[in-house]
Structure 1
Amino acid sequence: MNLASPDVASAKRSIQAIRAARLFDGDETVVDGDPTVVVEDGRIVSVRHDGAVPSGAELVDLGDATLLPGLVDAHVHLAFDGSADPVGALAARDDAQVLEGMRAAARTALAAGVTTVRDLGDRGYLGLRLREEFAHDPAAGPHLLTAGPPITVTRGHCWYLGGEADGVEGVREAVRAHAERGVDVIKIMASGGELTPGTHSHLSQYGLDELRAAVAEAHRLGLPITAHAHGGQAVADAVEAGVDSVEHCSFFTEDGVEAIPEIIERIARSGVVVSATLGVIPGGAVPPRIAARMAALTDLFGQIRKAGVTIVCGTDAGIGPPKPHDVLPHAVGMLVRMLGWPPADALRAVTSLPARLCRVDHRKGRLAPGMDADILAVAGDPLADPAALLDVRAVFRLGHRVR
């Protein structure tokens, strides 16, 4: 993988015409017949359907490939290294080492065509430093949105990241502190989780009062808020509190999955987005207690989709060997094979829909005039076979070719 250096990237300021055999615009349109995306100064200025190249433009002809918007992963953890013990590995590294690992993880994602990532839990706000680096050198990594340390109860899920807060006033103060640091989104742990001994995924950590306080403060400060919620009660309370999205939404019980139809209907009525945790590399060993629930989870998300809930993909990349930071393309195949989604719907779940959730849909998630030139080109046709996403031919970040 050879990412463009700053000097090379800054030199590429001319008009480009990026042409391929097919194009999916991230919304509804599929174009055959040599569509061409015209790019100037990092933005898309036009999408041509006639294969014509504007005078003076540099032609990048990718042949039998499909152009798509750069992918958007709505849930990653760049600070976790994807090892068998990501928490222990993180604890063993100082901030400089963690930051270097985060840079490498971000480059891995970008090389796979993931041009926007939402980091929902780092240590000590290190993601803010990385966000600044990539803003000055977009060829070095994806567009980064960051939550900082997730807000959690004392010794709660992911407490070791530094976001402990208790009670209504403690939660309000934590949201304010995150906003003052400049985060893009608030992440709150409504339930326990799989990576923290002493917590339990099916049990709530915060009650409705604390969640309402967090939501009110985040929205007062102009920030979206998402809730990590596995158990049914945690999901119900998060939705009732008015969060913008729910991570996982798995309706875990102590030993299984129990869909609660009235809560699913409430999610649909409220417009809350579900960020489904999908994406595993082939041969990746899912923890046994999760593997045992896969059939029930498949049925659950069928019910959630049937109810009309908007579902986007968030991989939780970094939390273990099955989930490296370039795992998002595999999530599309899972949506098609396991959940029976049409490929176009699955592609929207990793492009335009998460861009809207992340409040960057004015710039990301579609190939259209005025959008950032974050572009993925893959061999073949992912609308016929999602595995085509794994055969990357080119990646552009703000018009800079990084692969």
Structure 2
Amino acid sequence: METLALHTGSMFDGFTQSGPATVYVTGSRITRVDREGRLPTDGIKVLDLGAHSSLLPGLIDSHTHLAFDAGPDPVASLAATSDEELLPQMRAAAQTALRAGVTTIRDLGDRNYLSLALAQEFTQYPERGPEILPAGPPLTTTGGHCHFFGGEVEGAEALRAAVRERHARGCAVIKIMASGGLMTPGSAPPHASQYGLDDLRAVVDEAHRLGLPVAAHAHGADAIRDALAAGVDSLEHVTFLSADDAEPDPALLKAIAESDTYVSVTLGMDPRHAVEPPKAFAARAHGILKRIRTLHEAGAKVAIGSDAGIGLSKPHDVLPYGVGDLARLGIAPLEALKSVTSLAARLCRVEGRKGRIAVGADADLLAVNGDPAKDPTAVLNVQAVFRAGTRVR
């Protein structure tokens, strides 16, 4: 099996930034990391990425939706698309993400478990797309947020059965809509809860019994509080929206920061497709961003997901923009980079294999022009992408 040596001007290994380095890849794995940047002398093939390059682990998007087309009305588009048509569209969306350096994605909502079919395909042919960690249809109430995915279920026993079904099918995570949202006409608004604490606990208990994490879509403060109390593994969005624009309880912020639960904030918008944000968010954007920073400063484990697919400004290669967004909140660039690499790997339970450059890790790698440790927007300047040791860009 041939070994390739990648020589780079600098390297972010998922934790720290260093100078020139040479990373050896054999097959689909990293087999050696030379932090002195020495070149091999034994005939190993060398790819010199240049003095101004930086090598990073492939990025991890902890919240995306391959089934949404990132168009002006993704819900209507989904309804008009058959499964036979949808699967190739999802495949193309995954390839778009991969070419941006996103080598692992957690798909948090699809229809008819189509993301599992893609996950199996990409396991066999990893050069075709990122590793997918699928949730299948998200659990939601009757007529609730994203009910069109087919995950309507209510009552503790039915919820437990739904968790067992997803486990049996091979899902990597359970997604539950703890609060309402904005994409489903006639459903609860984002500040309102959809499930109570007892139902959330039933889902968490059953999922954890089966070894699966739970991701809770939670905008409203009550839904956030209940999901945290139930022991979910990640809180998605965490905007603290309320009917009266009240500030969140500082005790709740403190409880989140001190818990083992990850905060998965959905940042990043492609400025080439700028659109007006929903009114529920536009007037409150400053407060939402302020709370993200407060949570990070308090010690919360903040990862970035893109929520790709939900609109024109959220194409499936949008995650790198979120890195710059987090840094602009005053969070150190290295911390922003960790949020889509090593920290995201722990959140997604792929730590060790993903999100780091180390011997034995998957050879999912991103090379960019520039120094992302100083300027996180350098992640947008893609030079090369490797998936399982194969160069795909």
Task: Say if 1:124 and 1:149, in contact at 8 Å, map to a contact too.
Answer: yes
Is 1:254–2:243 an aligned residue pair? yes
Alignment partner, residue 373 of structure 1:
363
- Summarize the alignment of residues 13-92 of structure 1 with structure 2, pairs less than 5 Å apart: 13-27=1-15, 29-32=16-19, 34-54=20-40, 55-63=42-50, 64-92=52-80
Give the Cα–Cα distance (whole angstroms) in 2 for the partners of residues 255 and 197 of structure 1.
21
Note the alpha carbon deviations across 1:271-330, whole angstroms, 9 max, x for none: 111001101111521233322211111211122112211000011000001110000110
Q: State the Cα deviation string for residues 90-138 of structure 1 (Å, max 9, x = none).
A: 0100001111110000000000000000000000100000001100100
Aligned length: 388
Deviates more, 1:263-272 or 1:312-321: 263-272
- Return the match for 1:222 from 208, 211, 215: 211
Cα pair 1:250 1:257 within 8 Å, conserved: no
Residue 363 (1) aligns with residue 349 (2):
no
The code of the aligned residue for 2:87 comes to: L
| Residue of structure 2 equivalent to 1:136 | 124
Contact 2:60 2:105 (C-alpha < 8 Å) held by counterparts: yes
Gaps of 5+ in 1: 1-12
* 1:23/1:30 contact within 8 Å kept: yes
| Superposition map of 1:193-342 within 5 A | 193-198=181-186, 199-254=188-243, 256=245, 258-283=247-272, 284-285=274-275, 286-337=277-328, 339-342=329-332
Tell whether the 8 Å contact from 2:54 to 2:370 is kept in structure 1 after alignment: yes
Partners of 1:257 and 1:182 in 2: how far apart?
41
Cα deviation, residue 16, structure 1: 0.5
Letter in 1 for 2:331: W
**Aligned mates of 2:348, 2:31 — CA distance in 1:** 23
- The CA distance in 2 between the partners of 1:20 and 1:71, in whole Å, is 18
CA contact (8 A) 1:42 1:373 kept: yes
**What is the rounded CA distance, in whole Å, between the counterparts of 2:67 and 2:245 in structure 1?**
29
Kindly indicate whether the alpha-carbon contact (under 8 Å) linking 2:293 and 2:331 is maintained by their aligned counterparts in 1.
Answer: no
Greater mean deviation of Cα atoms: 249-258 or 205-214: 249-258
Describe the superposition over 1:39-84 as per-residue Cα deviations: whole angstroms up to 9, x where unpaired.
1111111111222233232101110210000000000000000011
Report the TM-score when normalising by structure 1: 0.94
In the other structure, the counterpart of 2:377 is 387
- Aligned-partner SS, 2:356: coil
Is contact 1:257–1:293 with CA below 8 Å preserved after alignment?
no
SS in 1 for 2:115: helix
Query: Residues 243, 367 of structure 1: CA spacing in aligned structure 2 closer, same or farther, 3 A cutoff?
Result: same
Corresponding position of 1:186 = 174
Find the aligned partners of 2:245 and 2:185 in 1 and give their Cα distance. 19
TM-score by length of 2: 0.97
**Structure 2: 5+ residue runs without aligned partners?**
none
Identify the residue that residue 398 of structure 1 maps to in structure 2.
388
- In the TM superposition, residue 14 of structure 1 has moved relative to its aligned partner by 1.1
Amino acid at match of 1:213: A
Whether the 8 Å contact between 1:238 and 1:246 is mirrored in structure 2 is yes
Displacement of 1:177 in angstroms is 1.0
Query: How far 1:259 moved relative to its partner?
Result: 1.9
Alpha-carbon contact 1:26-1:367 (below 8 Å) kept: yes
What SS is found at the alignment partner of 1:135? helix
RMSD: 1.1
Find the aligned partners of 1:220 and 1:390 in 2 and give their Cα distance. 40
C-alpha distance after superposition, 1:246-283 (max 9, x if no partner): 00111101253632211111112221110011011115
Answer whether contact 2:60 2:104 (CA < 8 A) is retained. yes
Question: Contact conserved, 2:107 with 2:133, CA < 8 A, in 1?
Answer: yes
- Alpha-carbon contact 2:108-2:138 (below 8 Å) kept: yes
State the alpha-carbon separation in 1 of the partners of residues 95 and 298 from structure 2.
37
Q: Is the 8 A contact 1:73 1:313 kept in 2?
A: yes
Q: Determine the C-alpha separation between the residues in 2 that align with 1:70 and 1:257.
A: 39
Counterpart mapping for 1:151-166 below 5 A:
151-166=139-154
Question: Residue 100 of structure 1 aligns with which residue?
Answer: 88
- Contact 2:140–2:176, Cα closer than 8 Å, also in 1: yes
* Distance in structure 2 (CA, Å) of the matches to 1:162 and 1:314: 23
Match of 1:14, as an amino acid?
A: E
